[in-house]
């Protein structure tokens, strides 16, 4: 197969930790031809989708050839693995990739789903599996919810890697001022969720491939911290899936498959679904290292069965 990875500049990628690097190297082991580009390299000439792409040899990291103009219809698979933020440039890239999809190329994850599945709001359709959650911009609604729950976590809807996530008690001095700040004076909605004390025991990152949970790690917060994201100091450790975890995965699987969300990472705290990550889910390297599981190779095997 010929695979194109649309992602951040290669010089920014740490291959020892990066899931995109793991997937690219697994594709090479499968004997595939691998190319890479950034979103700004995508082109549509009329209805013909193109890219100024680099031929790459990802293992050992990384051999790079000269850029060439490539017809996207000549690829079997295109991976959209650009990290958030999901800004205007990201959204326009999904529209350009949709031109390739119409030409018959399998784009992972599906461009329309990347636009419609906000990584916080997308989980709301499975709210029965979540801790009590409110999304609102009105400060009075958020205060009432905090008073009802006692202690809450506030999440910006466009946030990533734990950035901007705040834990606050309903009786905290200045709560109203804080909510005015995070909502930009009631201009933007935020997500508020009941704080789950068991987060000190960790937050599971479960990686689903074509709706099936293939691997998981537990991310334990560092001392004095409630956020477990690896980007803010969380420590990855081996874990097993509980019956509850598997039930959550089974509940999500039909919608993920139907909407073309082939590679997804969900976050589960104390048996409660927290987020559904669809842009560039991480955790492959940690699963491979801690669980002694070739997750990237298994992902490529699943992909070959679909293409």
Which member of 82, 110, 120, 194 is catalytic? 120
Which member of 110, 219, 220, 285 is catalytic? 219
Which member of 205, 210, 286, 288 is catalytic? 205
Is 210 among the residues known to form the active site? no
Strands 235-237 and 212-220: antiparallel
Is 176 among the residues known to form the active site? no
Is 205 among the residues known to form the active site? yes
Is 17 among the residues known to form the active site? no
Is 275 among the residues known to form the active site? yes
Which member of 18, 101, 267, 288 is catalytic? 267
Is 167 among the residues known to form the active site? no
Which member of 81, 82, 110, 227 is catalytic? 227
Which member of 155, 160, 204, 220 is catalytic? 155
Is 120 among the residues known to form the active site? yes
Which member of 109, 118, 218, 277 is catalytic? 277
Is 227 among the residues known to form the active site? yes
End-to-end, the C-alpha distance of the chain in Å comes to: 9
Which member of 203, 245, 275, 288 is catalytic? 275
Q: Which residues are catalytic?
A: 120, 155, 205, 219, 227, 267, 275, 277
């Amino acid at each position: 197969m010929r695979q194109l990875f649309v992602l951040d500049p290669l010089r920014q990628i740490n291959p020892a930790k990066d899931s995109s690097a793991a997937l690219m190297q697994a594709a090479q082991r499968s004997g595939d031809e691998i190319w890479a580009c950034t979103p700004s390299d995508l082109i549509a000439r009329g209805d013909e989708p193109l890219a100024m792409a680099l031929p790459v040899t990802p293992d050992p990291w990384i051999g790079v050839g000269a850029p060439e103009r490539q017809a996207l219809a000549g690829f079997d698979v295109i991976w959209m693995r650009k990290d958030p933020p999901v800004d205007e440039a990201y959204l326009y890239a999904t529209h350009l990739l949709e031109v390739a999809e119409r030409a018959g190329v399998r784009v992972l994850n599906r461009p329309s789903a990347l636009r419609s599945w906000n990584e916080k709001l997308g989980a709301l359709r499975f709210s029965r599996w979540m801790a009590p959650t409110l999304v609102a911009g009105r400060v009075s609604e958020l205060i009432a919810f905090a008073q009802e729950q006692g202690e809450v976590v506030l999440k910006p809807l466009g946030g990533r890697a734990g950035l901007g996530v705040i834990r606050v008690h309903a009786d905290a001095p200045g709560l109203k001022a804080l909510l005015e700040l995070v909502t930009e004076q009631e201009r933007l909605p935020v997500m508020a969720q009941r704080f789950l004390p068991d987060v000190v025991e960790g937050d599971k990152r479960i990686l689903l491939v074509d709706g099936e949970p293939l691997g998981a790690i537990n991310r334990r917060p560092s001392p004095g911290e409630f956020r477990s994201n690896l980007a803010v100091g969380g420590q990855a450790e081996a874990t097993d899936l509980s019956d509850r975890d598997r039930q959550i995965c089974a509940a999500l699987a039909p919608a993920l498959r139907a909407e073309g969300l082939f590679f997804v990472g969900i976050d589960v705290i104390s048996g409660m679904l927290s987020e559904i990550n669809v842009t560039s889910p991480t955790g492959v390297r940690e699963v491979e290292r801690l669980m002694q599981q070739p997750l990237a190779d298994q992902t490529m095997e699943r992909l070959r069965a679909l293409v």
